[in-house]
Structure 1
Amino acid sequence: MSGIYIHIPFCKQACFYCDFHFSTSLKKKEDMIAALVKEIELRKGELGNTIIETIYFGGGTPSVLSTEEIETLIDAVYKNFVVVENPEITLEANPDDLSEEKIMELSKSPINRLSIGIQSFFEKDLKLMNRAHNSDEAKKCLMLATRYFANISVDLIYGVPDCTNQEWQENIQTALSFGVPHISSYALTVEPKTPLASFIKKGIIKNVDDEKAQEQFHILIDALEKANFVHYETSNFGKEGFFSQNNSSYWLGKSYLGIGPSAHSFDGTQRSWNVRNNSKYINAIAENRLPIERETLSITDTYNEYVMTGLRTIWGVSFNKIKNEFGEKYIKYLEKQSKKHIEQELVYIENGILKTTKKGKFLSDGIASDLFMINEV
């Protein structure tokens, strides 16, 4: 089973923290849709006979597209790939795009899952992040969306400067009050060359506080566990039956095809990525050229990726899998490197699986990097 990710590189305005690829000009939207359809056609043989089980519209802001444009892209996938009977088809959306009319249209389309970028229910946080919606729009869109969709994920951001622990608790409880079955939550990160990085450097916005972010991460875990959510990946919490199939595929090492500028693909042995420029992408596709760079992963690269993704999930890192797929030297290396983290109660071994403890979850990426094999031994 595989997935298809479609990158929609347009936004109404730039969020101060975002370093994803997008344009705030919609002038090339029509040309982009045509190019995306054509790329789907050009790459129809890349996954072999693998069946598609998920289609995911990310960005950017996919909800700036009309329902008709979204259906055009879904039709292109169905025409060129074999798709399971009931695929998970997710649309990332912003509250300001989700009028009742738009939500009703989407509910009648093949889209069956919404991932809504709320980030915060507090006006001051939304202004600090330069979000296009306000708090009332966030609440109204969730009230409407939950009438028409059963499968909804809400995005929240913690560690926002001047967001107190009490306010963060309120954010979580407000999201839960709408009965959504999935929450994705990320620490506010200062990426280079973003407006947020510039404002912090100039002293306009306070810097993020890692200690506070860690506190709020643990507040989040406690609140969602009480609400019967499963913390199945570092940043993702879902009720049983509502884990993101698309994201779970990434973490479990399944193949996926990335369509659109800056989109990444993985076929099990090779990674590839499209050019991060809308005009170059459109022009190349018009000439039947794929604007792609590729790299073949070494056995060490594959081991490192498995450790990184495995430690982020409830499925952990299997010693048996490492022995069978990578060999004895990788087992010995993992055992040696993980010893100090076990002693510090950041990771533990259960039935031959290495997993993070509650204390270690926030630090999982740092722990993983310490378990990476830098040079083959």
Structure 2
Amino acid sequence: MSGIYIHIPFCKQACHYCDFHFSTTLKNKEALVEAICKEIILRKDEVIDVVETIYFGGGTPSLLSSNEIDLLLNTVFENFNVSESPEITLEANPDDLNNDSILDLAKSGINRLSIGVQSFFEVDLNLMNRAHNASEAKECILLAGKHFDNISIDLIYGIPGMDTNRWVQNLQMAFDLNVPHLSCYALTVEPRTALEQFIRKGVVAPVDEEMAAQHFYKLLDMTAAAGYENYEFSNFGKPGYYARNNTAYWQGKPYLGVGPSAHSFDVRSRSWNVSNNAKYLAAIRQGILPLEREILSETDKFNEYIMTGLRTKWGVSLEKIEANFGIEKKEYLLQQAKPHLNSGKLKLENDTLSVSLKGKFFSDGIAADLFLVNLD
């Protein structure tokens, strides 16, 4: 299977923590949509597998008109072999969703909404400079539930000033609204963001890693009790509601990314488009793909499998390591894993290496300890 990722590089306003590529100027939106359609056509021969997932990310894809969504979807269907029942996800902000817009999305072929709630509390939304308020967050989920069965929301924990009680209330609100899928992220301070500047100047308190860890383990406890399965570090789904797009990504399936800054992966290489709307437009108008590409070495492939595998409930298969990389690298992996196995942060069961409950919050750091370094 393959997936198509479509990056929509526009937002109403800049969130203080965000380092994704976007523009708050919408004047080139129509031209960008047309350019993305042209890129899809230019790259139609790059995907030979059946397309099982189509994902509108960004940016804020809910800023698109229904005609623009239809144009993009039609272009994908005309140029790729799309499954009869693909998962088609659109990321949306609560302030863009009302009864009419949700009905239009349901008619468009979108069958999964990922709503960027982040918090149900005004104090958090104001700190992050979100464009919506708490009442809009709740109302849009209720409205979306009338037309969509498959809904996910994003929530952020570890926000400065957010105590455990407020985090618990955020989760309980999601449960009360019958949201079947949650994507929950620890707030991270990215370089050159407004949040980084505020923290450096003392306007906002630093992120408390210990508090974030407490929030994470409370998240694990509450979602498990509410019937969610933590199939990937940040993703929690009720049975039957795993995001097919997310699952494919973490299992190393190929995907094609179109639009400014979009990344692609074909198992052998990665590529990424220029993160500049004007340069992207100029190149596509000339029939040039504005991308860079890197061929993945065996070390890259090994390390990526370790990183992605340890973040999921499926873990890292030692059988797959030996088959794909050889017995020496399997033995190297086991040797590197020993300290974490001894500490109880890793476990080895049924020839599969995975993080334990104790080690879950530290999975990325543990993975880095298992990486191959400069062996190619």
Same fold, TM-score > 0.5, yes or no:
yes
Deviation digits for residues 21-63 of structure 1 (CA, Å, limit 9, x no counterpart)? 000000100110110000000000012x211000000000000
- Compute the displacement of 1:328 (Å): 1.2
Moved over 3 A (4+): none
**Unmatched segments (≥5 aa) in structure 1:** none
Listed as ranges, the matches of 1:128-143 within 5 Å are: 128-143=127-142
Counterpart of 2:31? 31
Counterpart of 1:2? 2
Counterpart of 1:283? 282
d(CA) in 2 for partners of 1:363, 1:290: 38
- Which residue identity does 2:23 align to in structure 1? S
Listed as ranges, the matches of 1:45-56 within 5 Å are: 45-47=45-47, 49-56=48-55
d(CA) in 1 for partners of 2:58, 2:153: 16
- Which residue identity does 1:24 align to in structure 2? T
- Compute the displacement of 1:260 (Å): 0.4
d(CA) in 1 for partners of 2:146, 2:221: 28
- Which residue identity does 1:118 align to in structure 2? V
Deviation digits for residues 188-246 of structure 1 (CA, Å, limit 9, x no counterpart)? 00000000000000000000000000000001110000011000000000011110100
TM-score, normalised relative to structure 1? 0.99
Counterpart of 1:120? 119
SS at match of 1:359: coil
Counterpart of 2:368? 369
- Which residue identity does 2:83 align to in structure 1? V
d(CA) in 2 for partners of 1:375, 1:105: 51
SS at match of 1:348: strand
SS at match of 1:302: helix
d(CA) in 2 for partners of 1:83, 1:162: 46
- Which residue identity does 2:7 align to in structure 1? H
TM-score, normalised relative to structure 2? 0.99
- Compute the displacement of 1:375 (Å): 2.3
d(CA) in 2 for partners of 1:216, 1:124: 17
Counterpart of 1:152? 151
Counterpart of 1:245? 244
Listed as ranges, the matches of 1:187-336 within 5 Å are: 187-336=186-335
Counterpart of 1:13? 13
d(CA) in 2 for partners of 1:157, 1:291: 33
d(CA) in 2 for partners of 1:116, 1:174: 14
d(CA) in 2 for partners of 1:330, 1:27: 52
d(CA) in 2 for partners of 1:65, 1:345: 48
d(CA) in 2 for partners of 1:107, 1:145: 9
- Which residue identity does 2:290 align to in structure 1? P
**Unmatched segments (≥5 aa) in structure 2:** none
- Compute the displacement of 1:332 (Å): 1.0
Counterpart of 1:60? 59
d(CA) in 2 for partners of 1:24, 1:345: 47
- Compute the displacement of 1:137 (Å): 0.4
Counterpart of 1:85? 84
- Compute the displacement of 1:344 (Å): 1.1
SS at match of 2:24: coil
- Which residue identity does 1:46 align to in structure 2? E
d(CA) in 1 for partners of 2:324, 2:371: 16
SS at match of 2:138: helix
